[in-house]
Structures are given as C-alpha cells and as structure tokens.
Structure 1
C-alpha cells in the first residue's frame, strides 16, 4: 500500500473523486464494467464485506489513523494481503478535500472500486419470492432509501429499469447506509425496460405484479389476494409522475396505502417501506 500526501489537485488519479461524473465513472472502462465511489467508513466497509476491493482511496489527514487500519485489516482478512498491494491512499486536509470533491461537508473517506457485471434478469429472479421493482426512479436519494427499506423488510431482491438511477451512484449508496451491498439487485437492459416488457418477463418468470398507484381499481395493500401471492413483484414509479398508465394496466394488481387527513400519497421511499412491511 502506498500513501501519498496531496500536493496537486490536478493530479489525474484524483479526478475520479471530484470532476468525473457518475456517468463517466460508470463508463470508465467501457465496454467493461466501470468504477463506483463509496463514501464514508460505513459504506466502504459494507462494500469490502460484499467482496469489492478498492484500488484507490482518499482520506482526510486527521482521520487516517482511525479509518485506514480497520479497512486494511478487513481487506487482509477477507481477501488476503495481496488485496492491498496495489492500493494507493491519497491524504489531504479538510480544505483540500473540500476543494477536490466539491462538498462543503466532506465525509472524510472515499474509496474507488471496480464494478462487477450485473446478473441477467432471468437468473436473478430464480429462487426469489418477493421483489421490489423500481420503474424509472431517477432520484438517487429515493433509490438509496428504497433499497435500505427493502433490505430491512426482507425483500429478496431489487430490480431496476434501465432508466433508473444505479444503486452504486455515490449518493444512492450513501443514503442506503451501504445496504446496496447487502441485498441482491440488478438492472434490466434497455430492451427489457421498454414499455411493458419488464412486467411481461416477470409474469413469464411466475410473478404476480402489484403496481403502487392511485386508480379507481386500486385495492389496499392488505388485500389478501395480493398478500397471498406465491411470488410477488411490487412495482414502484418515480416521484411525481408515478408509473406509466400502460405499466399499471399490465400489472396483475394495483395497490394503494390507505390515507387519512386528506393526504393522497406518500413519498415513494416512504410508501415502499409501508408496502414492503405489509407484503413481504
């Protein structure tokens, strides 16, 4: 492991922590899987425990002695001493890291990891009974919160459409508190995500589908026909627009959460937690 004190913010190796966008990180080694950045000690440790090995780290100088030794120890334990052989740790003070990353409140620790290929949809769905399906959910905060709720409530896996935010985007993984590394998830391909293709594939794989939407045909999330489904995929849409009409109509069920005091809906992340609690 090599430790380098930052002397030049324009060092090419540091660009992935600051000016490089999430899309650029995702495509970094295209056509091979790219890079993701994990922020904060908790998220970094969850990534390592899930089998990911960092190749570059950025840490605030005053946190080095607290945060780096446990990470190195865990890497050695899980992946052997060779896992840190090519690791480079860049160290800087608070102001330097703030200038580099653009965050006024820096988290003190960033790690860069190579992405792994995602599992194909058919293989991913095998052996699972309860799925969360995120249909074009584009807010990383919502994706992270939904994944965290899915993990906590015992959902077997999360499927995201091609148009959804990737769970390994740094804000999504941070909001999830690292649970993106604790629950299985996959991204449907562009073709699989087109129109109602994904719903059709889930039906083909033996799942009933439940669209969370407010329509005249919606039933409560405690409806026994939904709760008793042997295999169920709970389909959630993006904040504001919700699910496309064609997707709602293609689903086996349309479900809603009973509301009071004139409230007609919840944030999609909050609604997901309620639905998972009731239906898993």
Structure 2
C-alpha cells in the first residue's frame, strides 16, 4: 500500500529528484542502470508503467489523491507519494504543475541496435538534435505514423529528458529506441556501416542540389529505409550526408528553404511510410 506523505518543508532532501537535480545528475551517465527520469501527467506515467518502467516516488497535489492519481497510486505499489497544496508544489518545482503530478522512475534498460532493427522496415535516426521539444515531437510523430523504431546518436538530447518525455505524450515508451553508439566517435562511422549491414538503405534529409524528392517512387519502394535527421540550424554533418546512400529533400514553396526538424520529420515519416495493403 502506498505511503502518502504530506509535504511541510519543500526543501526536504528526499524531494531533490523532482526539482533540484540536473538532467545530467538524474541520468547518471557512469551508471545508467541507476539513472532516474521524471514523467509528468497521468497519461505519460501510465504509458511508462505499461512499458515496464519502475516507479520510485510520486509527487502530486491534494486533489489528485482521489482523482486521476488514485489508479496510478495503486499501480505503483509501496512507493512514497508526496503531496501538498499547489502553492507549496510551485515553490518546490518552480512552476505550476498544470498536469497535476510527477513520477520519478528508474531508467529502463535499452535494447541493442540490432534488437530495435529486427524486423523493422522504417526507422528514424536522430543526429545531434539538442532541443528536447523537438526530440519529443519527433518521437510522437514516429509513433503516430507507424515507424518501427528510433535510433539516437550520442550527441542528441536524451529522449528521457523531462521535457522530451512530456512533449512526446509518452510515446517515447511506446516505440522501440536506443542509442547508436556510446560516444561521438561512433557516429557517423561506424554507425552508418552498422545500419547498412542490417539491410537498411540510408536517406539523409538535407538541403543539397543533388537531393531527390521524398516523392521519388524508388525511395518510397525501398524495403528497409533509415531516415537520418540532423540538428537544428546546421542540419546533418557533411560526413553523414556523404556517407548515406541518398540525400532527400521535401519540396518547398514560396521561397522557403526548409522546415523545423520536428515538422520535417512528420512530413517525411508520412510520405515514406510503408503503405498498408487493402
């Protein structure tokens, strides 16, 4: 049974993980299996629990104890449930909890690249995308538009960053993903070679005079395609573009040169998805 604890001092050290630890401290790069992430809102926490993530502690306003949070509290077993009125919670977190609750959870053990790619026909590769909002939005589009998995390069924002998780609406727990390489030296090589060995044709989304349209019928007919998306502003590194099988662009109008990477991902995922028969 859950242990409900009324917060009387928002400075209590046991609450540090909700507001006073940096994303780097939560992630625990040296010992990932001991890392923590924060999920926000009943829907996102529910998706995380469905995927097997283990809860450590809950934080929620009084009204949620018997409201939307009740079912979650029951699912989380004996973890502590910290609660207080909105004023105290705002003092603790530094912002109003518009979605009412947070859950600190242990980071899941991620699969190997080969596991994510097994049986996959369409995957996304995120290179150096540093904005958590963009990463979360890309994951949401990837899940909604039936991609089979996402691979994240070592220089990319952590998909379990609090904001990325929130923007993804929990889809980061619904679509298979993992890191492709443990440090920057492993991308674009040997990462691209690894994808080719797994049978993927690699397509770099980039502005290039030699780029083919995402409407190219040969591209759309590819059996296994990895769509490589680059960082905000500069886009993909030249070495990555050179190492991919194809360079692909989205046709633009009105003199616009490109879309935000999150918007571009949704267009590309939809256009190049595997069409369902019937």
Q: Where on the TM-score scale, by shorter chain, does this alignment land: which range? A: over 0.9
Choose between structure 1 and 2: higher helix proportion: 1
1:132-151 equivalence runs, <5 A: 132-151=124-143
Q: CA deviation at 1:28?
A: 8.0
Match of residue 169, structure 2, among 177, 190, 201 = 177
Shift of 1:31: 5.3
Between stretches 154-163 and 21-30, larger displacement belongs to: 21-30
Cα pair 2:59 2:101 within 8 Å, conserved: yes
Aligned-partner Cα distance in 2 for 1:177–1:188: 23
8 Å CA contact retained: 1:97, 1:106: no
Contact 1:59 1:108 (8 Å CA) reproduced: yes
For this pair of structures, how many residues does the alignment match?
A: 271
**CA distance in 2 between partners of 1:122 and 1:52 (Å):** 21
| Distance in 2 separating the partners of 1:217 and 1:29 | 42
Q: Which runs of 5 or more residues in structure 1 are unaligned?
A: 76-82
1:99 to 91, 96, 99: 91
Deviation per CA, 1:199-251: give whole Å up to 9, x if none: 11111111000000010110100112211111100000011010001100110
Flag structure 2 segments of 5+ consecutive residues without an equivalent: 274-278
State the alpha-carbon separation in 1 of the partners of residues 40 and 46 from structure 2.
10
The alignment partner of 2:270 has SS state of: helix
Q: What's the offset of the Cα at 1:88?
A: 0.3
Partner of residue 205 from structure 2, selected from 201, 212, 231 = 212
Query: SS where residue 132 of structure 1 aligns?
Result: strand
Q: TM-score, normalised by structure 1?
A: 0.92
1:189 to 181, 185, 204: 181
Q: Distance in 2 between matches of 1:59 and 1:28?
A: 28
**Structure 1 residues 178, 31: closer, same or farther in 2, change over 3 A?**
closer
Aligned-residue Cα RMSD (Å) equals 1.6
User: Over residues 173-194 of structure 1, what are the superposed CA-to-partner deviations in whole Å (9 max), with x where a residue is unaligned?
Assistant: 1001111111111112235743
Instruction: Give the Å deviation of 1:106.
Output: 4.2
Residue aligned with 1:32, SS? helix
The offset of 1:38, in angstroms, is 0.2
Other structure's SS at 2:271 match: helix
Question: Residue 6 of structure 1 contacts residue 91 of structure 1 at CA under 8 Å; is this kept in 2?
Answer: yes
Moved over 6 A (4+): none
Match of 2:65 in 1: 64
> How far, CA to CA, are the matches of 2:188 and 2:260 in structure 1?
24
Instruction: Give yes or no for the alignment of 1:114 onto 2:106.
Output: yes
Note the 1:151-162 alignment, pairs <5 A.
Answer: 151-162=143-154
Q: 1:20 corresponds to which residue?
A: 21
**Post-superposition offset of 1:40:** 1.1
Call closer, same or farther: CA 1:98–1:28 in 2, change over 3 Å.
Answer: farther
> 1:8 Cα deviation (Å)?
1.4
Shift of 1:197: 2.1
